[in-house]
Structure 1
Amino acid sequence: MWLVLLLVAFIIWIFYRPFKFWIIDPWRIHRDLWAQGVPGRHIPIIGEIFNIRKCILAENPLAHSTALAAQFGDYYHVSFGPVARLDTFDPALINGILKTNARAYHKAYIMRLVLGALLGNNNLIMAEDEIHAQHRRLIAPVFQHQNLNSMISLMVEITLNHMKKWSIAATAAHDDDKPLILNMHEKMARLTLDIVTSCVFGTEIISDENIHETIYRTITESLELMEKRLFNMIAIIPIINRLPLPSKRRIDKCICEGKTIIRRIVDDRKKGLTKSACKVTAGHETTSTLMTWTLYNLANNPDVCRRLEAEVDSVLKNDEEITPSTLSLLTYTEAVLKESLRLHQPVPGIVRTAVKDNTLVASDGKEIHIKKGTGIFINFYLLHQFDDNQSDKLLYPFSAGPRSCVGQNFAMLEAKIMLALMIRRFRFELEPGQKQYQSIFYSAFDTYGLTEWTLEKMPKNVKTDQQNTKWTKSNGWLYRSHNARSKFFCLKCGHQKKSNDKSAWSSVYTTLLFRARYLEQMDADGVIWSSDQIQIKIFEQGCQTCETYGSGRLDQDSIEQAFYWLHI
């Protein structure tokens, strides 16, 4: 008899736990918030997951939260699967969650299921309270200003190496009279991955293509699969999330490969595996997303791009070395990056769970009692959509409080260097006919490529001899005809190419971009003669004689009275 009763009690307990988790607890939290006058709605079991999934499939994933905000206001309660949560972009509530009452909130259960599998739970990103503080104290010295300044030369070197590859590809494409189309999110991801792995592990990792490719592939594929599993509810259903489904096997394989590579590297350096994985995962994806959206914004705002170019050219004159002092002068460059962070937050929102009862005060003065177990979603995307007349403007691109991003100075330094170097050498144009949208998961993915054009500046005060001198194109060379004499010049250093010395030069293909206000005259053959400040698009591999690569300027003394052509 007692055995039967124990068996019945055990069965009831087994079924009661999921029933309580999926039905009773969410209903109690919603009931309490409704009683306090907090607006919202409750969809049992599935919550808003399928509504969000519909928006994702429609390639407008942020439309759902925007619609809820329009219906309920700056804060409201909904469900995400079985989790009852308070969604907010109210500045006062966000300050209370991230700063004032930070110890009352931990990483959400869902994030532990999703990111914990990839990073582990004993690291800076996933740890809580004292363990998190200990990790932060250990890693913080790495990101002090003196240490970051020592990384500048390495960041510059790696960025230039990637730009060299792009220029070589541009040369090949434009030899066939075709533009070079690049997936800039992929290119930025590989560039930032090279930078962060070099700073964490050392420059030798980049020379090993297998290591580089494995790390990039495992991080990208794992996060994409985890996002799909989350919005299919597979990741949040107990037992089912552990079944060896195809997506689970692929994730496990990626994690195993990535950890094997990182373990092999860190064993030689006596560092922690999860700490290194944490740095690599968090350090490259968000910065690459920032850079991709920045290039997208610049492509759509040419006036901003021109002002940015002017600042970079005025600060980095004659391609002088990038130093902390020169970077500090790039104030508009930093403003452009921050505006991109505001418009396209790399992490558009974060989730927390209340681990104890606490009280928050909203901007309208309402006190909201948050019960233990209540989920929180902070919507940074909506928080940052303020207008010029709004008084309480907040910008939290790297979160805030004790859990703010410890590497935010590293990320901004890296992004500023990359943007300054790229904007001097390249013109980025959006490839037409593509769709762009911002994700709501771990990073703001986009699905577009950019047309990449290299860009060089014309030296000022170049005089022209319209009667006797003309530049034309011949077999891929830049060719100058002047008074029946022909010469070829290096567009980087001004060195003259002898007619029988083709081996010392790489191929050059040139087109020009002119601004209408700088044009003076066009002859009947379509030759444009210009006076000053003309922007020139140059596609080249550089001068093998002087071994420069996209960094020099036209030598006015050598090229004397130079001007260029463009057939419309």
Structure 2
Amino acid sequence: MIASTRSAWASSRKSSHHDNGKSCSYSLDVPSAFRRRNEHFSALNTGSYRKRAATFTTSASLSDLLPVAAFLTPGLSTIVYAYFKGKGNLKDGLSRVLTEVSQGYFQPNVGGENIPIAEGELSDLAGDEPLFKALYKWFLESGGVFKLVFGPKAFIVVSDPVVVRHLLKENAFNYDKGVLAEILEPIMGKGLIPADLETWKVRRRAVVPAFHKQYYEAMASMFVACTERTCQKIESTIHQGGQGAGAMLNMEAEFLSLGLDIIGLGVFNYDFGSITSESPVIKAVYGVLKEAEHRSTFYIPYWNIPITKYVVPRQVKFHADLAVINECLDGLIRNAKETRQEDDYEALQNRDYSNVKDPSLLRFLVDMRGEDATNKQLRDDLMTMLIAGHETTAAVLTWAMYCIAQNPDVEAKLLAEIDSVMGDLQAPTMEDLKKLNYVRASLAESLRLYPQPPILIRRALADDTLPAGLKGDPKGYPIGKGADLFISVWNLHHSPHLWRDPEVFRPERFSEKFQNSEFKGKWAGYNPEALGSALYPNEVASDFAFIPFGGGARKCIGDQFALFEASVALAMLLQRYTFRLAVPPSQVGMATGATIHTANGMPMKIVRRTSTAVKSTQAEPRAVSTLS
């Protein structure tokens, strides 16, 4: 899902940043005369200005200077005040001045007066580090619930599992997606992620039954077929390099192509064929994905101005790309409806999908008796799954492979399990996937270290009182309607209070109990026995310290699809090849947009495995660099 964190500040329409990847500037919504005064005072240090000023003062009378002095004095006072408020950094100081003014006059009171305010500076956001890394630093300094205030907008940042449980489960229907929905609505319409509460209830009831046992059985074969394409590409690259040379590929790009092909076939029976080719539809999909990422990280939502889709080149291209995808989806929906075979959903779930021409989620939705969604609603549902399901799974596989390549002991255990369950180059079945416990644990550990997305956004629909949490105010935190909140998944997953050795890639942790005695009676800790029949560690077993797919009522409905898809791909690739980073980990880098992705791609050297019997190196697991 898309973490539109920095765009959230833009909802105030009063502050803005511009991030070019290297620097960040801050523009205040003040009269142009005030900006000219800033230039005026910065020029005081130049000799030419002093010379002009001397000439001016000798020729002008005192009465001429009084109006100028009256005009300049408040500006000078403001700048001096801002300089001291910013501890020598004028930008930080001006941000604080704007905050003081706007909080009193322009921003509605949304409560939270007793919530600690992070002692952060605007300049903390000006570097190369993603926002969630700054939030982690403030979390360690300010606690599990703190307020982040820059300019006229304030956000409550939550990194406490007790408070997260309240927001996602206990009082979930008091919160919607807020700013995130506003950003995604032009792309996903009324799809499950941006949908308002009433629309969401209707669509969830319709979509959830489609993810059933027989569907997953059919999908397992499709996951294998798509992964075979990736293997064929690797083989072709190895062949081109000569015997023994191995292949050199950017595996992040390969995982993106694999994810796109799987989503296309599994959700709406369209073969993008992106692993081996590139069509206008594929180009359009990546164009829309790029725009979604741009909107999730840009500070001013200029795309809401109608004229921009005619005059701003990237917006012109975005609307053209959207038209291409819509035409494709409309055609698929039309064809599915023309071949509709209506039935009750129990009967649909018992179909033999191996004999169904297009065993897709779209086929299920169209054939379901009583499901009369409009073409637009179906298009919104499909677009949401395409955008959300494609990049996230690719990111999980990317970071899992990144971590495995640096931890040979984990790799050895994975290979031993894969060889034992799948044999020699045997394609995995659904039953095999259920036996690949360590594979799933490794993917979960990838999601713990690199959560997708790293931040969830919520907005209060009515007044509420947040619980005290693990170390908070015993009286709790009263907040008002309209309060915006960040749930920092990154902070939860990296918290030294909730995990032993939180920066170490160690899949074994999910088979071990962990309880922090300091929080006994408040937080249950992690308990693998609480998983029940669940196939992966989740918010139930961790008491909301681990939320890889969210939690509560609005938890991601595609969680098992994503897990099965990633398990097939990881198992088949490790079964056949050895992957090693072709560059130092520091050169891979880390950046955020729709997901946490690499800053520079992930080039890997790939060689065929010489033997299926791989012995453990007995190396100790080590911390994996969470790069900035």
Corresponding residue of 1:419: 570
Alpha carbons of structure 1 residues 459 and 353: separation in structure 2 relative to 1, 3 Å: closer
Q: Which moved more, 1:445-454 or 1:366-375?
A: 445-454
Partner of 1:304 in structure 2? Answer: 410
Query: Contact 1:308/1:333 (CA < 8 Å) preserved in 2?
Result: yes
Looking at CA atoms only, which structure, 1 or 2, has the larger radius of gyration? 1
1:378 is matched by which residue type in structure 2? I
TM-score normalised according to structure 2 size: 0.63
Q: Is the strand fraction higher in 1 or 2?
A: 1
Aligned equivalent of 1:233 = 299
Cα distance in 2 for partners of 1:254, 1:267 equals 20
Alignment of 1:141-540 (within 5 A): 141-175=209-243, 178-202=245-269, 204-206=271-273, 213-229=279-295, 231-235=297-301, 239=305, 242=308, 244-270=311-337, 272-363=378-469, 364=471, 365-386=474-495, 387-388=499-500, 391=516, 392=525, 393=542, 394-433=545-584, 435-446=587-598, 447-458=600-611
Could you list the runs of 5+ residues in structure 2 that have no partner in the other structure?
1-13, 15-28, 31-98, 338-365, 367-377, 501-513, 517-524, 526-541, 619-628
Evaluate the alpha carbon distance shift between residue 25 and residue 70 of structure 1 in structure 2; reply closer, same or farther with a 3 A threshold: farther
Give the letter aligned to residue 194 of structure 1: D
Q: TM-score, normalised by structure 1?
A: 0.69
1:112 maps onto 2:181 in alignment:
yes
CA contact (8 A) 2:132 2:454 kept: no
**Which structure carries more relative contact order (alpha carbon 8 Å, separation 6+)?**
2
**What is the CA-CA distance between 1:123 and the residue it aligns to?**
1.6
CA shift, 1:203, in A, is 5.8
Asked if the contact 1:75–1:86 (Cα under 8 Å) also holds between the matched residues in 2, the reply is yes
Question: Using the alignment, how far apart are the partners of 2:131 and 2:146 within structure 1?
Answer: 19
Is residue 226 of structure 2 the alignment partner of residue 125 of structure 1? no
Checking the alignment, whether the CA contact within 8 Å between 2:223 and 2:262 is kept in structure 1 is yes
| Deviation larger for 315-324 or 352-361 | 315-324
Determine helix, strand or coil for the equivalent of 2:428. Answer: coil
| 2:112 alignment counterpart | 33
How far apart, in 1, do the equivalents of 2:234 and 2:558 lie?
28
Question: Does the Cα contact within 8 Å between 2:260 and 2:272 map onto a contact in 1?
Answer: no
- Work out the CA distance in 1 between the residues paired with 2:105 and 2:293: 25
The verdict on how the C-alpha distance between 1:439 and 1:516 changes in structure 2, with shifts beyond 3 A counting, is closer
RMSD: 3.3
Q: 1:333-359 CA deviation, whole Å, 9 max, x = no partner?
A: 111010001001121111111111111
Q: Which amino acid aligns with 1:423?
A: L
Which of the pair is proportionally richer in helix? 2
Q: In 1, Cα distance between the equivalents of 2:220 and 2:105?
A: 51
Distance change >3 Å, CA 81–CA 159, structure 1 → 2: farther
Q: 1:141 Cα shift?
A: 1.4
Query: Contact 2:223–2:565 (CA<8 Å) still a contact in 1?
Result: yes
1:238-264 deviation per Cα after TM superposition (whole angstroms, max 9, x unaligned): 649957423322322322222222223
Matches of 1:430 and 1:397, distance apart in 2 = 25
Distance in 1, Cα, partners of 2:307 & 2:457: 20
Deviation string for 1:57-116 (max 9, x for gaps)? x2554332122223312111114665422011111111111111111111112x233221
Deviations 1:424-471 (A, max 9, x none): 1111111114623444432111133232423334377xxxxxxxxxxx
- Over 3 Å counting, the alpha-carbon distance change for 1:414 and 1:81 in structure 2 is farther
CA distance in 2, matches of 1:404, 1:351: 13
Percent of residue pairs bearing the same amino acid type: 25
Count of residue pairs brought into register by the alignment: 435
Tell me: CA distance 1:25–1:265, structure 2 relative to 1, closer, same or farther (3 Å): farther
- Which residue does the alignment assign to 1:98? 168
Alpha carbons 2:272, 2:279 under 8 Å: kept: no
Where 1:87 maps in the other structure, the secondary structure is strand
Q: Residues 209 and 63 from structure 1, CA distance in 2 versus in 1: closer, same or farther, beyond 3 angstroms?
A: closer
Say which SS state the counterpart of residue 157 (structure 1) adopts. Answer: helix
When structure 1 is superposed on structure 2, of 227-236 and 419-428 the one drifting more is 227-236
Q: Distance in 1 between matches of 2:303 and 2:102?
A: 10
Cα gap change, 1:380 to 1:242, in 2 (>3 Å): same
- Over 3 Å counting, the alpha-carbon distance change for 1:224 and 1:311 in structure 2 is same
2:396–2:446 Cα contact (<8 Å) kept:
yes
Distance 1:516 1:287 in 2: 29
SS of match in other structure, 2:571: helix
**Contact in 1 for aligned 2:575/2:612 (Cα 8 Å):** no
Q: 2:274 & 2:391 partners in 1: Cα distance?
A: 21
